[in-house]
Structure 1
Amino acid sequence: MKSILYFLLVCVVISCQDIPSVEKPANLIERTTMQEIIYDVAIINGARGYDVQKLSKYGVTPETYIFDKYNIDSLQFAENVTYYSSDIESYKEMYLDIQKRVDEEFLHFDSIAKVEKKVKDSLRTEKAKSLRKKKDSLKSKGLDTIIGKKEKKQTITTFPSKSAKEVVIDSL
């Protein structure tokens, strides 16, 4: 039993190794620029998940858009992501800043969408009111046939007091 414990202890000690730190890349992208790049990647990934056809309609290829915009290549981007992600706390702060920015923009665009919807609803309501007024004025002038909604007189039909089944039985 002791030999097994010693063996496991040796395995644990051997398996613990020194992880080398990531060296600073030759083409280091500044932290603020890297945040902008990661933000743009998040927006493009969101757009890709929302409507790929719209991206292709405007000629945006998500794979190369970021690289062209920031004048970087995929290797430089990968090296910088590796470098910045080696410091977990700093990388987490970057992502929290990006998340805060996305949330603020979402609230901004959401409020604009609500205002636009309110305006559209009020225009629709105003149009319905004007149509109702026009219809009422035509009715008051006796021109309701122009609208195509002539009032129909309802006729009341009376049914015999006996049900159809009783009538058939009585006739036999």
Structure 2
Amino acid sequence: MADALLPHRTERLQLRFHEERDAADLLRVYSREDVALYLLEEPWTAEQTAERLAKRITRRTLFDEPHSLSLVIQDERGRYVGDLALWLTDVEHRQAEIGWVRDPEHPGRGYVTEAASALIRMAFTQLDVHRIAAQMDARNDASAALARRLGFRFEGHMIEDLYCKGEYTDTFVFGMLARDLPAT
């Protein structure tokens, strides 16, 4: 069913599935220290980019394995400006989690806000999702601010719940229900 919904256009953007041609953009963005800082992985190498892109290309549906979507955000000129992921954490009860990464070369334009808002609306209205969570490193102020702009409710602050890259880190948890979706 997601195949029928994507690619999807917003006012300024296009959301589409990953393709082989995305390798250079992914490497350029995910190899950066400032991007990897709050992610669970170290900066990517070319080999890791190829492996992860191959997995992302298969993430095209919530209804069958792997129960996840992995999308590229393109601006009006067709440039990669970020990416989104949505995956079911509980298939039976339609519980999902969302994640996002913005290309640091495209700051302050609201691209990820616009794209994530469209994906959230699609998840609730067309993909039968009941709840979406957004979890992030508690030090990532920009990501927490984005979750709030999108209408997520702050649900918790997990103290040193994750050991990552040689240190314990805190996690913020945000949530949204289908009924929280603003009217259009």
Per the shorter chain, which TM-score range?
under 0.3
What TM-score does the superposition give when structure 2 sets the normalisation length?
0.22
Bigger helix share = 1
Bigger Rg, which one: 1
Bigger strand share = 2
Q: Structure with the greater relative contact order (CA < 8 A, sep ≥ 6): 1 or 2?
A: 1
